[in-house]
């Protein structure tokens, strides 16, 4: 942890984790449990809007470095009694994406980007069929024209 950050006592309002804001430079961003809970409340409402409920399976594609951004979504899904499958939105994880998308009835798929689509194609997957059998697709801007 950056020694320049203020010291915190563990509490509901204190430091819970340190995320990173990427841009020209990386900036540490302190995240309290209150922040996580507020984000989880919002994410839970969004999951409800797309119809995710008890027993539904969701595929979350994110990198480990993005855990601070995705943890509220995982908490929200657990609150709704859903289950999730994790995959990396990268060129090398196409086989895992394909396996999840073939084997499970996915209510929603988060984190689709052009790397995922290229990885699925490289793995020999029928991307159009996989995407059409899944529920709501949440994609990054670079993937939308390819969907």
Percent of the chain with pLDDT over 70: 80
The pLDDT confidence band at residue 1, using thresholds 50, 70 and 90, is very low
Q: How far apart are CA 115 and CA 100, in angstroms?
A: 17
Q: Which is higher by pLDDT, 39 or 6?
A: 39
Q: How far apart are CA 53 and CA 146, in angstroms?
A: 28
- Give the model confidence (pLDDT) of 70-125 as tens digits: 889 999 999 999 999 999 999 999 999 999 999 999 999 999 999 999 999 999 99
Q: What is the pTM of this model?
A: 0.79
């Amino acid at each position: 942890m950056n020694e320049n950050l203020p010291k915190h006592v563990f509490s509901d309002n204190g430091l819970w984790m340190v995320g990173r804001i990427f841009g020209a430079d990386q900036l540490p961003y302190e995240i309290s449990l209150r922040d996580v809970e507020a984000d989880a409340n919002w994410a839970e409402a969004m999951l409800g809007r797309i119809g995710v409920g008890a027993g539904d399976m969701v595929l979350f594609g994110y990198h480990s470095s993005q855990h601070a951004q995705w943890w509220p979504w995982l908490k929200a899904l657990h609150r709704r009694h859903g289950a999730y499958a994790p995959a990396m939105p990268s060129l090398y994880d196409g086989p895992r994406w394909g396996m999840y998308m073939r084997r499970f009835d996915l209510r929603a798929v988060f984190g689709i980007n052009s790397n995922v689509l290229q990885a699925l194609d490289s793995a020999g997957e029928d991307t159009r069929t996989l995407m059409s059998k899944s529920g709501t697709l949440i994609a990054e801007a670079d993937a939308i024209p390819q969907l």
